[in-house]
Structure 1
């Protein structure tokens, strides 16, 4: 299952992303964590020191290699140069599997979620660098994640968790449709629920599943406030946590509070309850690719990129 954490800056989505990733890993579930936030903090939240986290190869700086691998022998894609972030897979494309032996997952860093040795593969889009300033937008980085997800055939009990960039910028590309479930992290404040309204307005026409996870909840009044403003979309909530504070201070080995651990369990149950719709997944990929081709990509590449769409393609195991 593909899961995204979204929300306004400062809501705690990176912290909750890391808690959820750890929750999966300690249960022996295969998980890939992807830091797709312009502020690259997921590695540190998962226990790496800043120097080691900064050395994880940046997917955004390896777009050409990623495209070259994914296009495989697809005759509809002439070269990596003619591939854009929305290019969907077709016959001959190389598909990816969670934990697969491929050069894209090889960019990730294997780390341990706990002393039991359960592994997490951490991948990163990479931060803005001096060469990007003033000449590039962050979508030049997250395009690598979109290609990755477009070509990922995740199976039952496999998880990819993406910490997205903050705010409504999530909706500036088709990346927001690449997930089985979005967790919108919301504080019990007017700004917190305002982001919820903004997200649901944008997502309404695209069949995007959004569940709200309250964060920094201190009282029943906070829960009531969230429920008043988001209704049944409120899945669960986490309160103030001394364990989280300890992790943020670099002190490991302190167990999460039972109520917060139970909230993570409810989140996992919500993810597992989602049904895969591979036909819909591919259909949306094609729709956004055609939209981008007509809007800018055909001019940028100098080709009719709509011809890259393979109407006969189905993900493995999906009936025709």
Structure 2
């Protein structure tokens, strides 16, 4: 299952991503991806080794994923929305190419990251070129039950600049009990309307019944659970040793609720296939055909089946 964490900058989105990624290892293997421009997920996870950046390996990733797909003659003919087809490589969550090349391991958790801006990027490139590596990975990934991909997204509604926001089984929006936090939720909900994007709100830094009432008044049934003010989390953020056992019982219950909700989501491969093609066509017509000098609409393979191959008996 794939889950995205979004929210206003400073809402605790990265902290919640790290806590959930740790907790999800109780259910199965986890790949955590830092797709936020600030690149703090590894720090929040307590992983001191920086993984090789996905953004810097984009050509290598494209070459690997296209395999011998006859519709994609070169890495230069691939863009962030390029879908898989016959001959494409479709990695599983334990794919050696990605884990050995771009990940660092901590127990049952692997961390990957888009990478920060390089000196050559400053003033000439946007961050979406790096996030495109994550979108390509998720476009091709075949994940199964009890496997988790946890992505810490860019703050605000910036992920709507591509089809990446539709690549998930569930999106957790982390919201503080403030007007600004609620404003990001309302904007995200408005943009996601019509795309069948399952969205649940996690109230964060809730300190009083008044905070909880504020969230309920403005979010309603979308409010799944809340995280109370936590001395354990504050100590973790200050660099003190931390395990999930240090969390308050109510906050552990929140993580359990989040994991159970994710596990209960239906894996909708037909929606995934439909939206992959939809956003690829949009990007092809708006900029990608011109940028590559190729008609990228021909990359959509109508006979390709998304998801695990059917079992043969």
Q: Does TM, scored on the shorter chain, surpass 0.5?
A: yes
**Offset at residue 119 of structure 1 (A):** 2.2
**Offset at residue 232 of structure 1 (A):** 0.2
Q: Distance in 1 between matches of 2:90 and 2:109?
A: 20
Q: 1:309 aligns with which of 269, 293, 300?
A: 300
Which residue of structure 1 lines up, in the alignment, with residue 287 of structure 2?
Answer: 296
Q: What are the Cα deviations for residues 213-249 of structure 1, in whole angstroms up to 9, with x where unaligned?
A: 0000001111111011011000000011111112112
Q: Distance in 1 between matches of 2:98 and 2:248?
A: 38
Q: What are the Cα deviations for residues 109-149 of structure 1, in whole angstroms up to 9, with x where unaligned?
A: 002xxxxxx32100000001221111111001000000000
Which residue of structure 2 lines up, in the alignment, with residue 83 of structure 1?
Answer: 78
Q: Distance in 2 between matches of 1:190 and 1:78?
A: 49
Which residue of structure 2 lines up, in the alignment, with residue 239 of structure 1?
Answer: 228
Q: Distance in 1 between matches of 2:203 and 2:132?
A: 29
2:61 paired with 1:45: no
Would you say the 8 A contact 1:98–1:152 is kept in 2?
A: yes
Q: Secondary structure at the match of 1:286?
A: helix
Q: Distance in 2 between matches of 1:105 and 1:199?
A: 35
**Offset at residue 24 of structure 1 (A):** 1.3
Q: What are the Cα deviations for residues 263-305 of structure 1, in whole angstroms up to 9, with x where unaligned?
A: 0001001101100110110110000000100000000000100
Q: Distance in 2 between matches of 1:172 and 1:105?
A: 30
Which residue of structure 1 lines up, in the alignment, with residue 103 of structure 2?
Answer: 108
Q: Distance in 1 between matches of 2:159 and 2:307?
A: 29
How is 1:91-102 mapped onto 2 (pairs within 5 angstroms)? 91-102=86-97
Which residue of structure 2 lines up, in the alignment, with residue 35 of structure 1?
Answer: 34
Which residue of structure 2 lines up, in the alignment, with residue 260 of structure 1?
Answer: 251
Would you say the 8 A contact 1:8–1:195 is kept in 2?
A: yes
The range that moved more, 99-108 or 219-228, is 99-108
Which residue of structure 2 lines up, in the alignment, with residue 115 of structure 1?
Answer: none
2:154 paired with 1:165: yes
Q: Distance in 2 between matches of 1:31 and 1:104?
A: 11
How is 1:127-146 mapped onto 2 (pairs within 5 angstroms)? 127-146=116-135
TM-score w.r.t. length of structure 1: 0.94
Instruction: Report how many residues are paired.
Output: 308
How is 1:8-19 mapped onto 2 (pairs within 5 angstroms)? 8-19=8-19
The 3 A distance-change label for structure 1 pair 292 and 104 is farther
Q: Distance in 1 between matches of 2:124 and 2:308?
A: 42
Q: Distance in 2 between matches of 1:105 and 1:241?
A: 35
Q: Distance in 1 between matches of 2:67 and 2:239?
A: 43
Would you say the 8 A contact 2:99–2:110 is kept in 1?
A: no
Task: Name structure 2 gaps, 5 residues minimum.
Answer: none
Q: Distance in 2 between matches of 1:13 and 1:316?
A: 29
Q: Distance in 2 between matches of 1:181 and 1:21?
A: 14
The 3 A distance-change label for structure 1 pair 28 and 2 is closer
Q: 2:66 aligns with which of 67, 71, 83?
A: 71
Q: What are the Cα deviations for residues 65-119 of structure 1, in whole angstroms up to 9, with x where unaligned?
A: 00000000100001111000000000110001112222465310002xxxxxx32
Q: Distance in 1 between matches of 2:127 and 2:138?
A: 17
